[in-house]
Amino acid sequence: MNMQYQRIAEVCQQLKLPYICNEWSHHVQHVVDQQLSHVDLIEQLLCGELNARHQRSKEMLSKVSGLPTVKTLDTFDFNYATGIPKQTIQTLNTMAFVHRAENAILLGPSGVGKTHIAIALAHTAIQHRMITKFITAADLMLQLSIAKKQDRLKAYISRQVLKPKLLIIDEIGYLPFGSDEARLFFNVIAKRYEKGSIIITSNLPFSQWAGTFNNDSVLTAALLDRLLHHAHIVQMNGESYRMKNRKQMGFSLHNAVSEKTTGGILFD
């Protein structure tokens, strides 16, 4: 390598410009071959570095997001169930609601695609380079309780609850919370109120949420008041997508449940 190449590599390293460091000679060649200008060369190098930086930032955001898997709206079959409000979901996918610190609540029975849509929206937020955190309600409770016991609740809330631009809490309603947990959860909602977006999924209508929060109707009302003040409610209806293949094999969810309770077949 000649001395000038060496010096360019060192300067790029100091300025943290890995794309330009690796790619500048190809761009120079391209500009010569295509008879482009010096200004074109500078623009190509700077845009290339910026794109590479954005790509790295999305990969990092995805790694720390806690997303269990990759799901997108492209793989969601809006024709499968009739009760999926496609327009609302597509509007949410523009991320305008996140910029306005509004919430989205996805409600509906098991298997209609609530978690799929929540993950897809999280994925879009990451493509917009927003700090995004996905967590199940049960895991959030566990982590809040541990942080409280270890006297680091404030640090946990500031890092995991307040820092993300979009917080997704999946599966409210599957596990009931005790009174301490219910209060911790209220704290999460109250702290983010009008400051940052939350997406929540739940199989329960709001009228049954108190049952999840230790039958504390005062706390539940105060929680819903904050959560729903600036919220998009997405009611999703239809049959479980998990039953799609089973249905083709002649099963129905209703039969499967009754067989399960009588010690019959198991399903996920």
Among 48, 111, 173, 196, binds ligand ADP (CB under 6 A): 111
Give the binding-site size for ligand ADP (rule: CB under 6 A): 16
Sheet containing strand 231-235, edge to edge, reads 132-136, 166-172, 197-202, 103-107, 231-235
Q: How far is the CB of 24 from ligand ADP (least distance, A)?
A: 43
**Contact flags string 224-253 toward ligand ADP, x per CB under 6 A:** -----------------xx-----------
Q: Which does 231 bind (CB under 5 to 8 A by kind): ligand ADP, Mg ion, none?
A: none
Among 17, 45, 67, 116, binds ligand ADP (CB under 6 A): 116
- Which of 78/241 has CB closer to Mg ion? 241
Question: Which range of residues in 28-36, 85-93, 106-114, 257-265 is near Mg ion by CB under 5 A?
Answer: 106-114
By CB under 6 A, tell whether 173 contacts ligand ADP: no
What is the identity of the amino acid at 2? N
**Count of CA atoms in the C-beta half-sphere (13 A) of 190:** 11
By CB under 5 A, tell whether 115 contacts Mg ion: yes
List the beta bridge partners of residue 3: none
139-149 as b/e: b if 16+ CB within 10 A: ebbeebbebbe
- Which of 136/160 has CB closer to ligand ADP? 136
Q: How far is the CB of 172 from ligand ADP (least distance, A)?
A: 11
**Contact flags string 69-98 toward ligand ADP, x per CB under 6 A:** --x----xx--xx-----------------
Instruction: Return the closest-CA partner of residue 119 out of 201, 56, 236.
Output: 201
- Which of 33/268 has CB closer to ligand ADP? 268
Residue 39 to residue 181: CA distance in whole angstroms: 59
Q: Which does 71 bind (CB under 5 to 8 A by kind): ligand ADP, Mg ion, none?
A: ligand ADP
Q: How far is the CB of 247 from ligand ADP (least distance, A)?
A: 13
By CB under 6 A, tell whether 113 contacts ligand ADP: yes
Write out the residues near ligand ADP by the rule CB under 6 A.
71, 76-77, 80-81, 108, 110-116, 201, 241-242
